Amino acid sequence: MSLRIEERRELNLRMFYLTPLLAVVLTVVAGFLMFLSMGYDPFLGIYHFFVSPLLTVYGLAELGLKAAPLIMIAVGLAIGFRANVWNIGAEGQLTIGAVAGGGLALALIDVEAFWVLPLISIAGILGGMAWAAIPAFLKARWDVNEILTSLMLTYVATLTLSALVFGPWKDPMGFNFPQSEMLSESATLPLVLEGTRLHAGVVVALLIAAAGWVVMTRTIIGFQIRVVGQAPAAAAFAGFSRKRLIWLSLLTSGGLAGLAGLFEVAGPIGQLIPSISPGYGFTAIIVAFLGRLHPIGIIGAGLIMALSYIGGENAQVEAGMPQAVTGVFQGMLLFFLLASDFLARYRLRFDSGGNAADLRKEAPAE
């Protein structure tokens, strides 16, 4: 008897959508073992990490608060990943979106008007787009690897923000802390749940996911993106412009990351500080994969990854675990997901030395 691996002739769709759940289960099991090896009570660790944050209204609101940027960014990234455009610099686009929108909000700090929030949101989107336009231009024009350029630009973006809040944008009344003034009321996102930090951005995130779903499944643009990613030569045959799709996917993902960044500044943070994101731009990459690059899947995946942030904070407070556990969980989750993908693409078969007579029966009639 031997094990053999056979390629499925068609992707097993049920497996394809079930394996993310399998990956989550495997991650929890691995987490259990990790807690055990670190000398923590594993049951308590799992409880603090994955369960107790969900038991309070405040915890649930925090979940939505952290899921919103992840979902917004991941919907945009997923479009690019489907087109084989690997924007991994969403963290940088988020930062520049925050700089552009936040900077405008600082300039308008004395203005009280309903249009301030929409205006700075647009500025955030444009900021993210502008930052993503650099890798888009380089890739469309000279085929420069967008993975490396978008990532390098993330460092540049972080340093830009740092230079601003340590320098010209530093709050003169801020006791020399590297932070800007607080944004005005008009430049702050309204809350959707009083007594929590959950703001209107979560509604926007859901709308974006819905829009992403319609675009990807119902429109010719979504179709073109899927074709160019799966079979670039077929896209050329059909007359789809690869360059246009590069621009489109990078500008979309950059714009959404920029908006997510502005929402952090106009929402929970309320001002510009040197670090406005706990790595949402990178975590959104995992969210996109875990959600199977599908906007609806991304909502679920966004909530799971948001839980890993809150769980990490909770476990730190309750059990004194290091914050870094969050990163380990996120990495493991993506590992297990990629590994379990194998089950959707291949079939494992146990042969008991079957004979050709059996084989013949299975042979197709033609």
Partner 1 sequence: MSDPLILGFITVISAATPLLLAALGELVVERSGVLNLGVEGMMLAGAVAGFAITTTTGSATLGIIGAMVAGMAMAFAFGVLTLTLMANQVATGLALTIFGIGLSSLAGAGFVGIAVVPLPKLDIPGISTLPVVGPLLFSHDILIYASIALTVGVAWFLKRSRAGMILRAVGESDISAHSIGYDVIRVRYKAVLFGGLTSGLAGAFLSLSYTPMWIEEMTAGRGWIALALVVFATWRPLRVLFGAYLFGGVTILQLSAQGAGWFDVPSQVMSMLPYIATILVLTIISAGPWRARLNAPACLGKPFRPPT
Partner 2 sequence: MHQATSATAPRLELRNVSKRFPGVLANDSIDLSVAPGEIHALLGENGAGKSTLVKIIYGVLHADEGEVLWEGAPVGIADPHAARNLGIGMVFQHFSLFEAMTVLENIALGIEKAPDMKALAERVVEVSHAYGLPLDPDREVHTLSVGERQRIEIVRCLLQNPCLLIMDEPTSVLTPQEVERLFETLRQLSAEGVSILYISHKLEEIRALCDRATILRGGKVVGSCDPARETAKSMASMMIGAAMRELPTRTGRISDKTRLEVQGLNLDAGHALGVSLKDVTFSVRQGEIFGIAGVAGNGQGELFQALTGERTVHVAQEVLIDGIAAGRMGAAGRRRLGMCSIPEERHGHAAVPEMSLAENFLLSGYRRMKLLAGGFVQAHAMAELAQRVVRDFNVKATGIAATASSLSGGNLQKFIVGREILQNPGILIVSQPTWGLDAGAAAAIHEALLTLAGNGTAIVVISQDLDELLTLSDHLAVINLGRLSKSMVTVDASIDEIGLLMGGLHGMTEHQPEQTEGGVHVA
Q: Which residues would be at the binding site for partner 1 (CB under 8 A)? A: 4-5, 7, 86, 88, 134, 138, 141-145, 147-149, 151-153, 155-156, 159-160, 162-163, 166-167, 282-283, 285-286, 289, 322-332, 334-335, 338-339, 341-342, 345-346
- Residue 143 binding: pick among partner 2, partner 1, none (C-beta 5-8 Å cut-off by kind): partner 1
What are the Cα distances from residue 327, in Å, to 122, 146, 280, 332?
Answer: 31, 24, 11, 8
Q: Which residues contact 258 (CB under 8 A, 6 or more apart)?
A: 93, 94, 96, 97, 98, 100, 101, 124, 125, 126, 127, 128, 129, 131
- Residue 221 binding: pick among partner 2, partner 1, none (C-beta 5-8 Å cut-off by kind): partner 2
Can you give the length of the chain in residues? 366
Q: Which of residues 309-348 bind partner 2 (CB under 8 A)?
A: 347
Choose the stretch contacting partner 2; rule: CB under 8 A; options: 3-11, 125-133, 266-274, 320-328. 3-11
From candidates 2, 3, 7, 114, binder to partner 2 by CB under 8 A? 7
The minimum distance between CB 348 and partner 2, in angstroms, equals: 12
Greatest Cα pair distance, the chain, in angstroms, is 86
The minimum distance between CB 239 and partner 2, in angstroms, equals: 3
Q: Which is nearer to partner 2, 167 or 239 (CB)?
A: 239
CB 100 within 8 A of CB 125: no
CB 190 within 8 A of CB 263: no
Print the binding letters for residues 216-255 with partner 2: x by CB under 8 A, - otherwise: --xxxx-x--xx--xx-xx-xxxx-x--------------
What are the Cα distances from residue 302, in Å, to 75, 97, 220?
Answer: 10, 20, 27
Consecutive H or E run containing 97: helix 90-107
Q: Which is nearer to partner 2, 222 or 268 (CB)?
A: 222
Residue 58 in contact with partner 2, rule: CB under 8 A: no
